[in-house]
Amino acid sequence: MFEVMFKELRELLRDRKTLFFVIALPIVIFPVLFAFVAFLTSKAALEAEQKVHTYFVVNEDYAPAFSDTLFYHRSFKRYEGEAQLDSVSALRDAVRQGIIDVGIYIPAVPDKQLAQGEQSRFQVVFNDAQSINYIYSRIKKVIDTYSAKLTEQALNELGVDTDKQDAMLQPVLMEKVDTADRRENIGEKIGAFIPYMLIPLVLMGASYPAIDLGAGEKERGTLETLLLTPLTRTQLVLGKFLTILLSSIACALVTVSSMSIWIGLASGFGALDPILSAFASVTQWDFLLIFALLLPVAMMLSSLVLAISIYARSFKEAQNYMGPLSMLVFVPIVVSVLPNMTLNAKTAWIPITNVALAIKEIVKGTVDYQAVGMIFLASILLAAALLACCVRWFSREEVLFR
């Protein structure tokens, strides 16, 4: 069994394609892609933050204090063109044509309406289709400030003391007391994405060697030679299985190590400090537990891809069979991020979903070790069943020589 494993490992190390997918891809390509996406996202957010919006206020004489605040706001510039903007429809057309970024329509004098017990409605016209857009929040902040001044002025005229106005306007305040610590808060948001990175990598690290060791042997005509050796079919399968398992784990380990190094380098810019401070409370024991949870997943996927590869007639046929397998891995991970999905006695028995939930709980620092024990039991039972099926699959002549 180990002779087969070492022989397969030597052949894998000579295969440039496998080395590229198992080592070069997670070390170089993935970090570069992630860094590129992060750069574009931060650049777009910075440009949106610094953008100065052109605005126009219809009937600005009705609310001079509001107009003055907007005029001196560093993020807004008044439209000085000659276009006739005197209605909401005219403002809408101007925004669509790119003449202005935002228009505000004031229908009446707010002071007079307040004295009559009526509310003023400022209509804000802008394009809200952009994903990163600060226009509405900035205008709302100016309007809220103006509205607060009008309220204070009205209450003063009614003889209400300034120090009592807050209590009168909002007799009951809601104060949030969060029992979750910083690690739990950030872990809930980030921990759910770690399985998205690790579990597909475990599958990728197993797929390419499996195709070579099963369907590849058939195409090269070396399978018959291997079958003539004094080793039993079970030993041959276990040797190939261990090779694929090592490759799968190596791919995940290389990726995690590479990401930790790149994150360490990027932390010099300070943008990742909140995330790093949250992960600082994740202990070595937690990392070991995450790695231990990935082992039975790697065993399951290694058995599955080896069985598929043995069944396939050629390299290409094996690739076609393994394509849909990635969807079977992603769906359980997606289930783990659904609202109110937690690790309990039931979800601990759902393959892959249970590991994804456990990884999230480990990062949060709220993992239930009894549930982790059930995950190990369920995963190892399933992995053993798949490996037994793989051994039986390899013993059938009609499968080996299709």
What's the predicted TM-score (pTM) here?
0.67
3-state secondary structure of 267: helix
User: What pLDDT is attached to residue 176?
Assistant: 82
Output the six-digit token pair for 90.
Answer: 């005219």
Output the six-digit token pair for 53.
Answer: 């919006």
- Quote the radius of gyration of the chain (alpha carbons, Å): 31
Walk me through the domains of the chain, giving residue ranges and CATH numbers: 1-33+180-401 (no CATH), 52-169 (3.40.1710)
Task: Measure the CA angle with vertex 101, ends 98 and 103; round to 5°.
Answer: 115
Q: What is the C-alpha to C-alpha distance for residues 396 and 392, in angstroms, rounded to an integer?
A: 7
Task: Measure the CA angle with vertex 55, ends 84 and 132; round to 5°.
Answer: 135
Of 27, 96, 67, nearest to 251 by C-alpha is 27
Which residues make beta-bridge pairs with 104?
57, 124
Tens-binned pLDDT, residue by residue, of the chain (402 aa) = 666 677 777 776 666 666 666 666 666 666 677 667 767 777 777 777 788 899 999 998 999 999 999 899 988 999 988 888 889 999 999 999 989 999 999 999 988 888 888 888 999 999 887 656 788 888 999 999 999 999 888 888 888 887 888 888 888 988 888 777 777 777 777 777 778 878 888 888 888 888 888 888 888 777 777 777 787 888 888 888 888 888 888 877 776 676 667 666 665 555 555 556 656 666 778 778 888 888 888 888 888 888 888 888 887 788 788 777 777 788 888 888 887 778 888 888 888 888 888 888 888 888 888 888 899 898 888 888 888 888 887 887 777 776
Q: Which residue has the tokens 């949030």?
A: 176
Q: Helix axis angle, 162-169 relative to 135-157, nearest 10°?
A: 120
Please say whether the beta carbons of 297 and 359 come within 8 A: no
Amino acid at 184: E
Of 252, 263, 223, nearest to 22 by C-alpha is 252
User: What pLDDT is attached to residue 19?
Assistant: 66
User: What pLDDT is attached to residue 192?
Assistant: 74
User: What pLDDT is attached to residue 94?
Assistant: 92
Strands (E), 256-315: none
- Element of type H or E holding 235: helix 233-266
Of 260, 63, 232, nearest to 153 by C-alpha is 63
Q: What is the C-alpha to C-alpha distance for residues 374 and 349, in angstroms, rounded to an integer?
A: 7
